[in-house]
């Protein structure tokens, strides 16, 4: 059983054997690299993944990405009402509170309620959610690959734009649809460029202006259209 204590930027885990002894702990970043590292720890320490059950408290939205990632890789996982964990923790004589101890408490809760939680994790609703999680993971891969490809193409045909800042934001992707090359940018008016960079619904603005893009295009030596 593996308990996970989640915070905004990281998560701490504690794995317990069936008799209650601790066999691994760790802390990981709350991002894809951290998720992959955690999955590697599970697969290296647990011979039979069918016996693995990961539990985490519901923490608003922070647990969703990790839960989806684990489900998409076939790791049984459950999200537990934090009130249940809080009531369970009251039985402990320890008054200090740390991420590692919280993770261990969740793992102990899984051990004490293994039968009911196992049935929950194998329910039809869970199976549906696991399928959805796998689809979400697949889309995440696709989005990441597309962003990498866009940056690769820009490094070839418009490296000056790529050097200005993040070109994978929604505003910049819309800008690239309208002006996909240095040649298109140089042929446009400053007013037209600025208009495309202005998001009608607000949102995050790029860290560079239309003037910066136009200067970058004029410096560039490559003006091939992006097809």
Q: Write out the chain's pLDDT in tens, 227 residues.
A: 999 999 888 999 999 988 888 888 999 999 889 999 999 999 998 888 888 899 998 876 778 888 888 988 888 888 888 888 888 888 765 554 565 788 999 999 998 887 666 554 444 445 556 666 677 777 888 888 888 888 888 887 788 887 787 777 778 888 888 888 888 888 889 888 888 887 655 556 677 888 988 888 887 654 433 33
In a domain, 32, yes or no: yes
In a domain, 86, yes or no: yes
Q: Beginning with the edge strand found earlier in the chain, give each strand of the sheet holding 10-16 in spatial order.
A: 22-29, 10-16, 2-6, 54-57, 77-80
Q: What is the per-residue DSSP string for 83-105?
A: HHHHHHHTTSS-----HHHHHHH
Which residue's entry shows tokens 């690769």? Answer: 152
| Structural domains counted in the chain | 2
Nearest to 184 by CA among 146, 148, 150, 218: 218
* Residue 96 in tokens: 């200090």
Which residue's entry shows tokens 């990405």? Answer: 65
Domain enclosing residue 99, as ranges: 2-122
Cβ atoms of residues 59 and 82 within 8 Å = yes
Q: Which of 91, 122, 153 is the last residue of a domain?
A: 122
pTM over 0.75: no
In a domain, 225, yes or no: no
């Amino acid at each position: 059983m593996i308990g996970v204590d989640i915070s905004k930027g990281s998560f701490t885990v504690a794995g317990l054997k069936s008799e209650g002894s601790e066999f691994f702990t760790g802390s990981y970043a709350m991002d894809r690299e951290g998720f992959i590292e955690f999955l590697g720890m599970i697969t290296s320490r647990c011979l039979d993944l069918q016996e693995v059950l990961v539990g985490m408290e519901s923490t608003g939205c922070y647990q969703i990405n990790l839960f989806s990632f684990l489900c998409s890789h076939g790791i049984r996982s459950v999200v537990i009402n934090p009130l249940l964990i809080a009531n369970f923790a009251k039985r402990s004589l320890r008054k200090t509170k740390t991420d590692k101890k919280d993770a261990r408490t969740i793992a102990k809760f899984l051990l004490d309620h293994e039968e009911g939680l196992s049935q929950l994790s194998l329910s039809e609703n869970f199976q549906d959610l696991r399928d959805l999680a796998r689809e979400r993971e697949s889309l995440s891969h696709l989005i990441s690959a597309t962003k990498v490809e866009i940056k690769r193409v820009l490094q070839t045909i418009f490296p000056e734009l790529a050097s200005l800042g993040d070109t994978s934001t929604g505003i910049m992707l819309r800008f690239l649809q309208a002006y996909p090359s240095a040649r298109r940018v140089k042929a446009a008016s400053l007013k037209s460029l600025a208009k495309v960079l202005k998001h009608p619904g607000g949102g995050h603005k790029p860290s560079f202006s239309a003037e910066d893009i136009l200067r970058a295009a004029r410096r560039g030596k490559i003006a091939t259209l992006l097809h």
